[in-house]
Amino acid sequence: MMPAMPRRLTKADFIAIASPSAPALAALLLHDLPPAARLSATAGVAALACVGVWYLGIRRRLSAHAQSQAEAGSLLTEAAQLTETELVPDHTFRQSREALSPRLRLLRLELARRRAAFDSADSVMLATDASGQVVLANRAAREFFGGRTGDLSGRPAEDLFTHARIQAMIAGALRGERHEGQIRLPGTGGRQRVYQVHAVPMPAGGTAAGGGSLVMMRDVTELAMALQLKTDFVANASHELRTPLSSIKAALETLTDGAWNDPTMRERLSRMAISNVERLEDLVRDLLDLSRLESADTGEPAPTLEDDVDLNALAGSLAESIAPLAKERAVTISVEVDPSLTRLRTDRKLLEAILRNLIDNAVKFAYERTTVRVRCEPLPEGPSSRAGRRGVRLRVIDRGIGIPIGHQQRIFERFYQVDAARSGDGRQRGTGLGLAIVKYAVKALGGTIAVESVWKSGTTMTVDLPGCAQPPDAAHA
């Protein structure tokens, strides 16, 4: 009988060999075999068991990997099958972003506008934090401090403002207090500038203190000077009016007390009263002229009347009206008018005010037995020409006491007098308004005025008036 052919082991055989019941089954199968065969069979069964265990380990790993891949694929499939509306977090973010974008653009635009307004302010503006360090500065502040300190951010305010009062105002603002006041600070060229300073707290957390401060400085030098000039004007006008009134009162009281019966005293006191009345008339006239010119002053040439003016006749009549004073002081008035300037087209009253005050001043302060020269000549053709009309230059030249160089910039102020010697005695003393009137009259005609003077040698006043000289053909038409 042919022995049975051994069959090939299958997967089920390996599983059976590696199963927990395999040792017991092997023992039953090998029980009836001879010892030598049993030993060989036992070794074969053990080897088969090891192979089965190895096979099962690999099978479990492969199964676990396949399961994980299947789960991942399932998740990807589910994610791919989700609609856009089911992706709630991403969709909500996109919607919020789209909804906020217009608002963000508006906020950026508003911030840019406020920053531009902050920077365009002419006043110096600084913002500090609670510790007093600068956190924000506008363009004016950067220009005010930039030349000396560079970048302002992060710098202590007390390092920028060395004035003790400003430092105290900032400290008060950091405590929640509001401070303001006018402070004088050195400016360019050593001149003092006046600033209106405000230091206010910036609230933080609903309280005034603890949030920093805002410092604002506005240059009010011109306003302060105007207020000072107004105060000085009232004081000077009151003094100028009081002086002749007191003289008139004293003369009348003396006459009523018995001096009327003394012909010499009566004539002397009467002349004194008449002289002071004339002075009052001049003062009132000059005040009215100055008020009219100042009220029309807007920084540009004011609307004026255009009259046909015979310059020779005008200068001659003014010299004749001042002749009595010139005769008293043995001063001669010489008028020289260029032949091409026989007629002018300008405001007669303003031109008359200019010439009258300049000639009057020259006669009062010229040395005795000298000549005051009035010269009128055409300006070269150029920017001063208008509508075919050339400009005119008027010069009033005297040989007299002159004006010290330190006073020359102030002689056009109202009631300004250089000193007692310059003012002269009662007969020579003017109202103190003549050159102020000249300045405004020249400005109203669109012209310029300049002074050249040497102390104790003489003075030359030069007035340039544009476009008022008519061409010779038009003048004779």
| CATH number assigned to the domain comprising residue 243 | 1.10.287.130
Are residues 279 and 319 located together in one domain of the fold? no
| Residue at 104 is within a domain | no
Of the residues 219, 254, 277, which one is the last residue of a structural domain? Answer: 219
Of the residues 174, 190, 219, which one is the last residue of a structural domain? Answer: 219
Q: Are the C-beta atoms of residues 348 and 309 closer than 8 Å to each other?
A: yes
Give residues with Cβ within 8 angstroms of 387, minimum separation 6. Answer: 467
| Residue at 111 is within a domain | no
Per-residue pLDDT 10s for the chain (477 aa) are 444 444 444 445 544 544 554 454 444 444 454 555 555 555 555 555 555 555 555 556 555 555 655 555 554 445 445 444 444 455 565 666 666 678 788 888 888 887 888 788 888 999 999 999 998 888 888 888 875 555 788 889 888 888 999 999 999 999 999 999 999 988 776 778 899 999 999 876 544 456 789 999 999 988 888 888 778 777 877 877 888 899 899 999 998 888 888 888 989 999 899 988 988 888 888 888 888 887 766 555 445 667 888 888 888 888 888 888 889 889 999 999 988 887 888 888 899 999 999 999 999 999 999 999 999 999 887 655 555 678 899 999 999 999 988 888 888 888 777 754 444 444 455 677 889 889 999 998 889 999 999 988 999 999 999 988 876 655 444
Are residues 315 and 463 located together in one domain of the fold? yes
Are residues 126 and 38 located together in one domain of the fold? no
Class of residue 264 by CB neighbours under 10 A (exposed 0-12, middle 13-18, buried 19+) = exposed
pTM of full prediction above 0.85:
no
Domain count of the chain? 4
Domain containing 154 equals 119-219
Are residues 347 and 436 located together in one domain of the fold? yes
Are residues 251 and 373 located together in one domain of the fold? no
| Residue at 64 is within a domain | no
| Residue at 418 is within a domain | yes
Structure tokens at 256: 């009523």
Q: Whole-angstrom Cα distance, residue 341 to residue 355?
A: 15
| Residue at 141 is within a domain | yes
Q: Say which CATH number the domain at 441 has.
A: 3.30.565.10
Closest by CA position to 144, among listed 127, 126, 132: 126
Closest by CA position to 425, among listed 287, 330, 358, 329: 329
Are residues 273 and 139 located together in one domain of the fold? no
Of the residues 239, 267, 295, which one is the last residue of a structural domain? Answer: 295
- The per-residue pLDDT for 87 is 44
Q: Whole-angstrom Cα distance, residue 408 to residue 399?
A: 16
Distance of CA 449 to the CA centre of its chain: 30
Are residues 287 and 343 located together in one domain of the fold? no
Are residues 378 and 457 located together in one domain of the fold? yes
Q: Are the C-beta atoms of residues 245 and 237 closer than 8 Å to each other?
A: no
Q: Whole-angstrom Cα distance, residue 55 to residue 412?
A: 120
Are residues 323 and 416 located together in one domain of the fold? yes
Are residues 358 and 405 located together in one domain of the fold? yes
Are residues 338 and 459 located together in one domain of the fold? yes
Are residues 350 and 386 located together in one domain of the fold? yes
Q: Whole-angstrom Cα distance, residue 124 to residue 149?
A: 15
End-to-end CA distance of the chain: 168
| Residue at 112 is within a domain | no
What 3 state SS string does the chain have?
A: CCCCCCCCCCHHHHHHHHCCCHHHHHHHHHCCCCHHHHHHHHHHHHHHHHHHHHHHHHHHHHHHHHHHHHHHHHHHHHHHHCCHHHCHHHHHHHHHHHHHHHHHHHHHHHHHHHHHHHHHCCCEEEEECCCCEEEEECHHHHHHHHHHHCCCCCCEHHHHCCCHHHHHHHHHHHCCCCEEEEEEEECHHHCEEEEEEEEEECCECCECCCCCEEEEEEECHHHHHHHHHHHHHHHHHHHHHHHHHHHHHHHHHHHHCCHHHCHHHHHHHHHHHHHHHHHHHHHHHHHHHHHHHHHCCCCCCCCCCCEEEEHHHHHHHHHHHCHHHHHHCCCEEEEEECHHHCEEEECHHHHHHHHHHHHHHHHHHECCCCEEEEEEEECCCCCCCECCEEEEEEEEEECECCCCHHHCCCCCCCCCCCCHHHHCCCCCCCCCCHHHHHHHHHHHCCCEEEEEEECCCEEEEEEEEEEEECCHHHHHC
